[in-house]
Chains A and B, each alone.
Chain A
Amino acid sequence: MSATPISQVAASDLTTLRDALGKGIISELEFRGEHTLVLTLEALPKALALCKKTLNYEMLLDISSLDHFGEDPRFEVVYELASLDDTRHLRLKAKVSEDEAVPTAIHLWAAADWHEREIWDMMGIPFSDHPNLKRILMWEGYPFFPLRKDFPLAGRPTDMPDVAFTGVAPLEGGPFVTAPGADTVAKREPHARHQE
């Protein structure tokens, strides 16, 4: 009577992907039935097309990005795929260096449009062949990518009269963060921790 583990359902999909991509797969991870494939950036578009067209992952749940500041390649994009009946989930990852662009996935999933624009806006990873790659959250013309590790939470001032402006938020010693391992409640609760 137990529910079928997701890992069993996705097993044949993984074989198909392994056969098709070969050395494009850098590593495979499994955690509590969740499968992750770490790919080379070159293999990524082929893998995505295969997932959509052959393996019928109808939904692109999300595209997110990571900034491994200080490493090379610096960035990483993460694709969360799912089938429409919600029985199969798959995560694809690929590292992107600072001068590289990720091929767009709009022709596969229309949902990729806004996800890719958000990543461009927040992290500054460009997507090649995207028909409308402009900012989605920050104002048009904003010169920074605020989710990068080297961007301060308080922001940086912009000097663009006649367009818009952005100031630096007064943090007063913040950001206010918790210290989960601290011994007393008073120390664990959010306090200003001075940034170096």
Chain B
Amino acid sequence: MESTDTVPTYAAYDSKIEGNIIFTRVDAAINWMRKNSLWPMPMGLACCAIELMATASSRFDISRFGMEVMRFSPRQADVMIVAGTVTYKMALAVKRVWDQMPEPKWCIAMGACASSGGMYRSYAVLQGIDQIIPVDVYISGCPPRPEALIEGLMKLQEKIDKEHSTQDQKKTFFEDKA
């Protein structure tokens, strides 16, 4: 029979809450939560939007990645997927919707048109959405297949995973105080 002295004392370990605690960094926890619950704002402007819809549907199913919650209100969205040709007239609306999205927010330029104007080298079409809003991921294709969009979204997940927002916040806080 073992004495109580042999009970390990290596951590503030409580068997009652065993399995309910994980040790991590705040940034890592935040990133993990953000990247697995990306709510897209579908900015479907042309044929890319059809592929975007296919991606959300059962065959490709982005709910596997926690991205199925398409929000048609910019105030509830995390990532704007610009799918299609952006004309200069529509650019005003795209910028407005983007400005209404709360931080943190990301942007995906889906397809050739949103990335660079695509085949529309004309007076009417914005030559790349990055002229008005910052883009995190560009997806090539005309239009890209759903697999390509999912690949783009996974790239965005990887990018979010490398962010250190709390650290940056702390840094700016101390810089402001100094």
Enumerate chain A interface residues (CB-CB to B < 8 A): 137-139, 142, 144, 146, 151-156, 164-167, 169-172, 174-175
For the complex, give the distance between the alpha carbons of A156 and B122 in Å. 10
Chain B hits for A164, CB < 8 A: 88-89, 91-92
CB distance from A47 to the nearest CB of B (A): 34
Chain A hits for B91, CB < 8 A: 164
Q: Is the CB of A139 within 8 A of B92?
A: yes
For the complex, give the distance between the alpha carbons of A32 and B117 in Å. 41
Of the candidates A137, A156, A170, A172, the one whose C-beta lies within 8 Å of that of B124 is: A137
CB distance from B93 to the nearest CB of A (A): 10
How many interface residues does B have (CB within 8 Å)? 14
Q: Is the CB of A170 within 8 A of B89?
A: no
Q: How many A-B residue pairs have CB under 8 A?
A: 47
Chain B hits for A138, CB < 8 A: 88-89, 124
Of the candidates A154, A170, A172, the one whose C-beta lies within 8 Å of that of B123 is: A154
Q: Is the CB of A139 within 8 A of B89?
A: yes
Q: Is the CB of B88 within 8 A of A169?
A: no
Q: Is the CB of B125 within 8 A of A169?
A: yes
CB distance from A117 to the nearest CB of B (A): 14
Of the candidates A151, A166, A172, A175, the one whose C-beta lies within 8 Å of that of B88 is: A166
Task: Take A139-B92, A164-B91, A167-B131 as given contacts and tell me if A175 and B123 are in contact as well, using a CB distance cutoff of 8 Å.
Answer: no
For the complex, give the distance between the alpha carbons of A166 and B122 in Å. 10
- Complex: chain B residue closest to A139, CB-CB: B89
List 3 tightest A-B contacts by C-beta distance, closest first.
Answer: A155-B123, A139-B89, A169-B121
Secondary structure call for the B interface: loop
Q: Is the CB of B92 within 8 A of A170?
A: no
Q: Is the CB of B127 within 8 A of A170?
A: yes
Chain A hits for B89, CB < 8 A: 137-139, 164
CB distance from A37 to the nearest CB of B (A): 33
For the complex, give the distance between the alpha carbons of A172 and B125 in Å. 16
CB distance from B24 to the nearest CB of A (A): 45
**Contact bitstring B94-118, A, C-beta under 8 A = 1, else 0:** 0000000000000000000000010
For the complex, give the distance between the alpha carbons of A144 and B88 in Å. 14
Report 29 cross-chain contacts, Cβ distance below 8 Å, ordered by A residue: A137-B89, A138-B89, A138-B124, A139-B89, A142-B88, A144-B123, A146-B123, A146-B124, A152-B123, A153-B122, A153-B123, A154-B121, A155-B123, A155-B124, A164-B91, A165-B88, A166-B88, A166-B123, A167-B126, A167-B127, A167-B131, A169-B117, A169-B123, A169-B127, A170-B121, A171-B121, A172-B121, A174-B121, A175-B121
- Complex: chain B residue closest to A158, CB-CB: B88
**Contact bitstring B118-149, A, C-beta under 8 A = 1, else 0:** 00111111110001000000000000000000
For the complex, give the distance between the alpha carbons of A128 and B89 in Å. 26
Among B21-80, those with CB < 8 Å from A are none
Chain A hits for B122, CB < 8 A: 153-155, 169
For the complex, give the distance between the alpha carbons of A172 and B116 in Å. 14
For the complex, give the distance between the alpha carbons of A165 and B120 in Å. 17
- Complex: chain A residue closest to B117, CB-CB: A169
Among A154, A156, A164, A166: residue with most chain B CB under 10 A: A166
Among B117, B121, B124: residue with most chain A CB under 10 A: B121
For the complex, give the distance between the alpha carbons of A196 and B124 in Å. 22
For the complex, give the distance between the alpha carbons of A67 and B89 in Å. 24
For the complex, give the distance between the alpha carbons of A35 and B122 in Å. 35
For the complex, give the distance between the alpha carbons of A42 and B120 in Å. 40
CB distance from B162 to the nearest CB of A (A): 33
